[in-house]
Structure 1
């Protein structure tokens, strides 16, 4: 019997920032160790995933667009946000991913 791929999935959060003055994209990925997973899952849960639009909101010139993807054992969540929407729990999650990726 093959293992269920949904329960084998490692916790991974990816943030892609695109746009800005030069229109370049940057990507950060964090796959925290199992001991830190409860903290990361709490951060992911606090984000209002169901309140994000299906497409990225319109942007002013030179503003960033953000794609946030959280892959958990239960599934994958994706959000597309404009710079102005990257506040509160979204900002906390993005900052944590960027810090983990640069460590």
Structure 2
């Protein structure tokens, strides 16, 4: 199972993507529990805000696009975990 997080926007408009193969992680079970607990179908659409980041989070069959202010709680936990794996922490 692959999780992909892309962040775009901001002042420079640069896109950055982080990915993790959940099944290759030593704590794969906790990853799956977090992914299963996310409110995939409960996100709200909102208008883009200038110079703010937008996050696209994918884990088949799910995909959400969240403006930066909505990346909180379990969404922030997921983004932080995916980034940490990619940054070697």
- Decide: shared fold, TM above 0.5: yes
Displacement of 1:43 after TM fit?
1.0
- Is the deviation greater in 15-24 or in 25-34? 25-34
Aligned length: 87
Give the secondary structure class of the aligned counterpart of 1:96: helix
**Greater Cα radius of gyration, structure 1 or 2:** 1
Q: Which runs of 4+ in 1 moved over 4 A?
A: none
Cα RMSD (Å) of the superposition?
1.5
Quote the residue 2:48 is aligned against.
Answer: 59
Cα deviation for residue 31 of structure 1 reads: 0.9
Structure 1 equivalent of residue 57 of structure 2 = 68
Decide which of 27, 32, 45 is 2:36's aligned counterpart. 45
Stretches of structure 2 that go unaligned for 5 or more consecutive residues are none
Q: Describe the SS at the equivalent of 1:94.
A: helix
Map 1:1-103 → 2, pairs under 5 A: 11-32=1-22, 33=24, 35-53=26-44, 57-71=46-60, 76-103=61-88
Alpha-carbon separation, structure 1, partners of 2:83 and 2:38: 16
TM, length-normalised to structure 2: 0.88
1:35, distance to aligned residue in structure 2 (A): 4.5
Q: Where does structure 1 lack aligned partners over 5 or more consecutive residues?
A: 1-10
